[in-house]
Amino acid sequence: EVEDGFDIEVERWRTTEALGPRARLAAEYAERFALDHHGIDGELWQRMHAQFSNTEIVELSMCLGSWMAFGRLNHVLGLDAACTLPDHR
């Protein structure tokens, strides 16, 4: 179960104290994976390997790739326009 407000804290990963170092690093990796995958450099990999096992990095990467693929698939098929979520902010 996801705690109330977790999504908002993930959006604030740079400044929030609600997330631990692993969660903040996972959020940074997710953002860079989605928006600047060419910018993922050795410095980020060093920090990732200091916090996560190889298995965890692969699992996180597979989840990110799957979610991005499903988001694009839903958009291409027009499914994202069929179900509007209420604004919770």
Number of domains the chain contains: 1
Alpha-carbon separation of residue 13 from 7, 64, 72, 82 (angstroms): 10, 17, 24, 30
Q: Would residue 87 count as lying in a domain?
A: no
In this structure, is residue 16 part of a structural domain? Answer: yes
What gap in Å lies between CA 45 and CA 31, rounded to an integer? 14
pTM metric for this prediction = 0.81
Q: Is residue 85 part of a domain?
A: no
Average pLDDT for 40-54: 98
| Inside any domain, residue 46 | yes
**Which pLDDT score, from 0 to 100, does residue 47 have?**
98
Tell me the per-residue pLDDT of 53-82, one tens digit each, with 9 for 90 and over.
999 999 999 999 999 999 899 889 888 776
Question: How does residue 85 score in pLDDT terms, banded at 50, 70 and 90?
Answer: low
Q: Which residues contact 60 (CB under 8 A, 6 or more apart)?
A: 26, 29, 30, 52
The answer as to whether 1 is a domain residue is no
> 10 is in which domain, residue-wise?
6-76
